């Protein structure tokens, strides 16, 4: 790679970092080291198939997509951060969606409907969940990320598994609190 291309990539990453630091609720943004990338990939692989949130085996498709990108950042958030529009967690059985998280504004839509069981901001479809073959799979899907006018493409967010989140918090001395979290952002050069 020539120096011009490298400088361009560095400026692109810096532009994305600056942009993300202006997003309400984002506290810090950092580039993962190669060692961190390797460890997070190993943690995510180990977490695959483990029971997630007590509901079923995990399939973190969001992190898998992030790690397909040229550039990977991690950012830390507080309670002011607005999560991407739901669903951010999808429960599948076979090829059928049997549950998903929803926006708190939609609680009445599901809570008063006898076809659903509501647990916090997660809903399970009664008719779809019972008697199907196979274990439930809890999918954490990739979420698109708008980077404004920055010349990057294929920007995607992924929510880490608990082991990856704990690793990042410990490694970067980030406060452990239910009001704070971590996200991964991957993107490619334009």
Composition of the chain by helix, strand, coil, percent to 5: 30, 30, 35
pLDDT of residue 55: 65
Distances from the Cα of 133 to the Cα of 125, 128, 177, angstroms: 16, 11, 37
If one compares 176 and 140, the residue with the highest pLDDT of the two is 140
Least confident residue range of 2-6, 49-53, 95-99:
2-6
pLDDT digits (tens, 9 = 90+) for 54-112: 667 888 999 999 999 999 999 999 999 998 999 999 998 888 899 999 988 888 889 88
Task: Give the pLDDT band of residue 4 (cuts 50, 70, 90).
Answer: very low
Of 5-9, 122-126, 177-181, the poorest mean pLDDT is in: 5-9
**How do the domains of the chain map onto residue ranges?**
3-189
pLDDT at 56: 72
Mean pLDDT of 50-55: 62
Residues 8-43 have pLDDT tens digits of 568 999 999 999 999 999 999 999 889 999 999 999
Return contacts of 106-113, CB within 8 angstroms, 24+ apart. Answer: none
112-134 residue pLDDT tens: 899 999 988 899 998 775 555 67
**For residue 131, what pLDDT is reported?**
56
Residue matched to tokens 């969606």: 97
Phi, psi of 127 (to 5 degrees): -70, -25
pLDDT value at residue 8: 59
Indicate the pTM of the whole model. 0.85
Q: Where are the beta strands (DSSP E) in the chain?
A: 26-31, 51-52, 56-59, 71-77, 90-93, 96-101, 116-119, 122-125, 137-139, 143-144, 152-158, 181-189
- What's the pLDDT score for residue 129? 58
């Amino acid at each position: 790679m020539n120096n011009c291309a490298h400088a361009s990539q560095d400026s692109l990453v810096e532009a994305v970092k600056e942009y993300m630091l202006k997003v309400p609720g984002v506290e810090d943004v950092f580039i993962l080291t190669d060692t961190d990338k390797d460890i997070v990939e190993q943690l995510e692989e180990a977490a695959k198939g483990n029971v997630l949130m007590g509901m079923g085996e995990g399939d973190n498709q969001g992190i898998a997509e992030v790690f397909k990108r040229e550039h990977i950042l991690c950012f830390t958030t507080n309670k002011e951060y607005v999560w991407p529009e739901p669903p951010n967690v999808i429960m599948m059985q076979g090829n059928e969606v049997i549950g998903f998280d929803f926006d708190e504004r939609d609680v009445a839509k599901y809570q008063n409907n006898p076809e659903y069981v509501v647990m916090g901001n997660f809903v399970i479809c009664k008719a779809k969940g019972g008697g199907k073959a196979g274990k439930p799979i809890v999918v954490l899907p990739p979420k698109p990320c708008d980077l404004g006018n920055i010349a990057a493409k294929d920007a995607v967010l992924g929510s880490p598994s608990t082991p990856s989140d704990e690793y990042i918090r410990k490694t970067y001395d980030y406060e452990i609190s239910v009001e704070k979290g971590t996200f991964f952002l991957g993107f490619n050069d334009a």
